[in-house]
Chains A and B, each alone.
Chain A
Amino acid sequence: MIIEIERLQLYYSAFHALKNVNLSIPENRVTAFIGPSGCGKSTLLRTLNRMNDTIPGVRIEGEVTIQGRNIYGSETEVEFLRKRVGMVFQQPNPFPKSIYDNVAYGPRLHGVTKKAELDGIVERSLRSASLWQEVKDVLKKSAWSLSGGQQQRLCIARALAVEPEILLMDESTSALDPISTTKIEELTRELREKYTIVMVTHNMHQAARISDRTVFFLNGEVVEASDTEALFRSPVDQRTEDYISGRFG
């Protein structure tokens, strides 16, 4: 287990958003968070790279350990944590720069300066994100000139360029067309060979298609977490069954 979450409580000021979450996330697998809108999927995902730190009024109790180290401990450097735990957002958000500069951005700011080294990182990252073939001749073009699906894969390449071990994806296909969605789903399956992937989706078919493990949330609580096949074939909790059979949400 690469990530262990124990007795996690999260409050947005007075609002209790995550209630006593206990969860283990395995290495080199795709773990999907499903559940109705507003149940706390994004909130939990963002505790894993401490993006919630930027929101005023957030209070967190309990423990999150990644490879045995408490990421909320005083000796953890947030910047170092976020380098190891990359994130892809719902809306593609490339920087208003060239395709090359988007991917080279993180490595540059983390101290890589040699052109040849950067070129290598950019090519490798774009290949990993299945984008290289489409953009290798237009690396100097603005990232904003790409289609939405290409932009999202560029964001994946940008995240991979700083060599994370874990990749968080928050509904990263929900703003895309079906073809782009399929591309990113296939990509996700490939990426798990080298990365641990935690994804939020409100589309349970997507979870069924590509995840190894599925966690079902309701009102800030984990209702059920198990292997994807088992969860969809024979859910233990009545509420899980109601949800996956489409009776609510």
Chain B
Amino acid sequence: MKAKTVDRIMTGVIVGVAVLIIAVLAGLLGYLLVRGLRHISLDFLLSPPQTIKAGGGIGPQLFNSLFLLVLTMIITIPLGLGAGIYMSEYAKPNRLTAFIRLIVEVLSSFPSIVVGLFGLLVIVNMFGLGFSLFSGALALTVFNLPLMVRITEQSLRSVPREQKEAGLALGLSRWRTITSVLLPVAIPSIVTGTILAAGRVFGEAAALLFTAGMSSPRLDFSDWNPLHHTSPLNPFRPAETLAVHIWKINSEGLAPDAAQIAAGASAVLVITVLIFNLGARWLGRVLYRKLTASK
């Protein structure tokens, strides 16, 4: 009798907490979208910002965010895959491995403002890379790489042991077994995890303030030579991203419509991250069906 009462109360509490969390999330999302959607137009998405006049857009910032994401992923995906494969398939279970794993955990949970300051000291100043997309990408690598390692390692570990043994028993080498038996099974969850991690990179601001910088040079969107100074593709130019832009106009925006621009930009950011999340799940399912021929 008493156990039953406790059970009822606890169930009630858990359901209550869940409802509360969902309500807060839905409220937050609704608020951001309702406030922001009104200001989103094609012109807003494509045109450059204005300093003191109304009617500025977020074109360069949106481009910077996407480009920075691509740069970061170019660095972290190969390294993360390599390290993840090593950790799951080659590392012996000893102290060194445990130590590496600890460091990976610590790195991925570093406060991003600390990573930003570290980037300023080491990447921007010591290595002289200046405020640039490349510096920003390196700073983002600090917490994106550990995530990639962990995603890869866990995805590989979750492949049933029998699959691996089937490959080895056919006389495939260890490496062949990894690339042609384990990876095809693990790829859907690696891809899903990678895109989810990309969402975090996309929304990151604190680590970029002092690395990618808070300004963008005037960009010439007709010049795609990455070596030119005003080319959008130049990785060594400073670049204000969308998240940094929101922070900046909220704290020091001079344009009369700063509040609306911040609201619009926030909505764009949220929608993009949502698209990342939904897209990740969708792509994961599609890849799984394709790679496992389970149509």
Whole-angstrom distance between the Cβ of B171 and the nearest chain A Cβ: 3
**Contact (Cβ within 8 A) B294 A93:** no
B292 part of interface (Cβ distance < 8 Å)? yes
A62 part of interface (Cβ distance < 8 Å)? no
CA distance A153 to B145 in the complex (A): 43
A56 part of interface (Cβ distance < 8 Å)? yes
Segment of A81-89, A185-193, A211-219 engaged in the interface with chain B: A81-89
Whole-angstrom distance between the Cβ of A184 and the nearest chain B Cβ: 17
**Contact (Cβ within 8 A) A95 B165:** no
A98: nearest residue on chain B (CB-CB)? B293
Q: Which of B93, B168, B171, B181: most chain A CB closer than 10 A?
A: B171
**Contact (Cβ within 8 A) B163 A49:** no
Q: B: which residues have CB within 8 A of A?
A: 92-93, 160, 162-163, 165-166, 168-173, 176, 180-181, 184-185, 291-295
A128 part of interface (Cβ distance < 8 Å)? no
Whole-angstrom distance between the Cβ of B166 and the nearest chain A Cβ: 5
Whole-angstrom distance between the Cβ of B271 and the nearest chain A Cβ: 34
**Contact (Cβ within 8 A) A82 B180:** no
CA distance A144 to B173 in the complex (A): 25
**Contact (Cβ within 8 A) A110 B171:** yes
**Contact (Cβ within 8 A) B166 A89:** yes
Q: Which residues of A have CB within 8 Å of B162? A: 89, 91, 93
A96: nearest residue on chain B (CB-CB)? B292
CA distance A115 to B252 in the complex (A): 67
Q: Binding site of B, secondary structure by majority: helix, strand, loop or mixed?
A: helix
**Contact (Cβ within 8 A) B169 A159:** yes
A41 part of interface (Cβ distance < 8 Å)? no
CA distance A142 to B295 in the complex (A): 7
Closest 9 CB pairs of A and B: A83-B171, A96-B292, A93-B162, A87-B169, A82-B171, A106-B170, A142-B293, A142-B294, A93-B166
Q: Which of A51, A56, A79, A86: most chain B CB closer than 10 A?
A: A79
**Contact (Cβ within 8 A) B169 A109:** no
Q: 27 A-B pairs, CB-CB below 8 angstroms?
A: A51-B169, A56-B92, A56-B93, A79-B172, A82-B169, A83-B171, A87-B165, A89-B162, A89-B166, A89-B169, A91-B162, A96-B291, A96-B292, A96-B294, A97-B292, A105-B170, A106-B170, A109-B172, A109-B176, A110-B171, A140-B293, A142-B294, A142-B295, A158-B166, A158-B170, A159-B170, A162-B170
Q: Which residues of B have CB within 8 Å of A54? A: 165, 168
Q: Which residues of B have CB within 8 Å of A162? A: 170-171
